[in-house]
């Protein structure tokens, strides 16, 4: 699978340092692409970026202004979740260099929460841009294996036939601020 963001772009755009294990970082980028980006873009648009060497026009804008910033933050989040662990033949262990102090679980949770909120912010921006530009490959109702991210409020899934506007009149949520009627 083609990586849509380079190692250098991640190091320059995140708090991850340049001395981290590149193989583990690339695995985090792949995880971010498969688990979040493909879900946000839908299968067709995701495959377009996998198959196209140099996108142009709106696709180039989407890649540079929305996909890459999202992938940088989502890859950072994925790395923060696994970065402290090493998996080898002799088991799973934490590796701490000499003369260092291990960070507490509470501090790791705080870092992960901050990274998640930034990744979600970039994801929301990308989806709003996609709704506004109406790219042909961004099909909202398709028979793809992976479709766009479903409407949800909290952890509840809102079926497509359900009128989300009526729901939000009675149960106002943060989603009202980002609601875009062009995307229905």
In a domain, 119, yes or no: yes
Q: Is residue 35 part of a domain?
A: yes
Task: Tell me the average pLDDT across 44-49.
Answer: 90
Pair (60, 84) in one structural domain: yes
3-state SS, residue 69: helix
Asked if the structure places residue 169 within a domain, the reply is yes
Q: How far apart are CA 72 and CA 57, in angstroms?
A: 22
Q: Which helix (H) or strand (E) holds 92?
A: strand 91-94
Which helix (H) or strand (E) segment is 91 a member of?
A: strand 91-94
Domain carrying residue 154: 150-184
Q: Let me know whether 99 and 177 are in one domain.
A: no
pLDDT at 131: 85
Residue 113 Cα distances to 31, 97, 103, 120, angstroms: 18, 25, 15, 10
Q: With cut-offs at 50, 70 and 90, classify the pLDDT of residue 181.
A: very low
- Mean pLDDT over 58-68 rounds to 95
pLDDT at 164 over 70: no
Residue 114 has pLDDT above 60, yes or no: yes
Instruction: Identify whether residues 33 and 94 lie together within a single domain.
Output: yes
Do 160 and 138 share a structural domain?
Answer: no
Residues 37 and 1: beta-carbon distance below 8 Å: no
> Could you give the percent of the chain with pLDDT greater than 90?
23
Residues 20 and 76 in one domain: yes
Is there a single domain that holds both residue 167 and residue 143?
A: no
Greater confidence (142 vs 62) lies with 62
Domain count along the chain: 2
Report whether pLDDT(26) > 70.
yes
Q: Within this chain, do residues 92 and 171 fall inside the same structural domain, yes or no?
A: no
Average pLDDT over residues 142-151: 54
**Over 50: is that where the pLDDT of 162 sits?**
no
Q: Are strands 152-153 and 156-157 parallel, antiparallel or unpaired?
A: antiparallel
Shared-domain flag, residues 158 and 101:
no
Residue 40 lies in a domain: yes
| 77 & 111 share domain | yes
Domain contains 96: yes
Domain co-membership, 175 together with 141:
no
Nearest Cα residue to 112 out of 77, 143, 139: 77
Cβ pair 183, 140 in contact under 8 A: yes
CB 25 within 8 A of CB 75: yes
pLDDT confidence of residue 116: 92
Q: Are residues 125 and 164 in the same domain?
A: no
Rounded CA separation 9/179 (Å):
31
More confident residue, 162 or 61: 61
Do 75 and 35 lie in a common domain? yes
Rounded to an integer, what distance in angstroms lies between the CA atom of residue 68 and that of residue 105?
Answer: 29
3 and 30 in contact (C-beta within 8 Å)?
yes
What's the pLDDT tens digit per position in 76-112? 899 888 777 777 788 787 777 777 777 788 888 888 8
């Amino acid at each position: 699978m083609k990586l849509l963001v380079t190692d250098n772009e991640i190091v320059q755009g995140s708090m991850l340092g340049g001395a981290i294990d590149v193989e583990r970082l690339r695995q985090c980028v792949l995880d971010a692409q498969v688990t979040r980006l493909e879900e946000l873009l839908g299968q067709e648009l995701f495959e377009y970026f996998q198959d196209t060497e140099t996108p142009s026009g709106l696709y180039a804008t989407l890649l540079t202004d929305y996909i890459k910033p999202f992938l940088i933050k989502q890859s950072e989040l994925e790395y923060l979740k696994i970065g402290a662990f090493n998996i080898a033949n002799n088991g799973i262990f934490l590796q701490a260099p000499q003369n260092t102090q291990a960070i507490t679980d509470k501090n790791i949770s705080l870092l992960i929460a901050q990274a998640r909120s930034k990744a979600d912010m970039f994801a929301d921006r990308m989806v709003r841009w996609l709704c506004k530009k109406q790219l042909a490959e961004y099909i909202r109702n398709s028979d793809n294996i992976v479709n766009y991210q479903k409407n949800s409020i909290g952890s509840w899934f809102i079926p497509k036939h359900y009128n989300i506007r009526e729901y939000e009149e009675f149960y106002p949520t943060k989603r009202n601020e980002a609601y875009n009627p062009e995307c229905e």
